[in-house]
Amino acid sequence: MKKLLIKGLRQGLGGLIVIGDKLSRPKPMQRTADKQSLVEQQIEGLSLYQLPACPFCVKTRRAMHRLNLPVTLRSTQVGSPYRDELAQQGGKLTVPCLRIEEQGEVRWMYESNDIITYLDQRFGTQAA
């Protein structure tokens, strides 16, 4: 009974987090069509392994939205092939995790603050 109650609370809070995110997202960065096209080519090697209601994943997705980065999202919910992929290739089952493929090499970045700093430095206003 206790486990069921905790699961229900977790799902309810997760739903509130997702709704709150959608209602309060920052405006996306504006770029010229040419610059946005270039950014979209550069992010082809990026994918975010995440869970929809994870607060740290929401934080990371909000930063991606603010930077206008349509990065591929990969859910790691139980039963997802991306869950196994993250554990086997990334080395641990922790989200958010940004998979970065550049010049034939793959890196896995795990901390939300590290991911956001990386994206800000690479795609933020100072990088533009």
Over 80: is that where the pLDDT of 66 sits? yes
* Residue range 71-122, pLDDT digits in tens: 999 999 999 999 999 999 999 999 999 999 999 999 999 999 999 999 999 9
H, E, C per residue of 26-91: CCCCCCCHHHHHHHHHHHHHEEEEECCCCHHHHHHHHHHHHCCCCCEEEECCCCCHHHHHHHHHHC
Query: Where does the pLDDT of residue 21 fall: very low under 50, low under 70, confident under 90, or very high at 90 and above?
Result: confident
Q: Is the pLDDT of residue 5 over 90?
A: no
What distance in Å separates the CA atoms of residue 90 and residue 87, rounded to the nearest whole number?
6
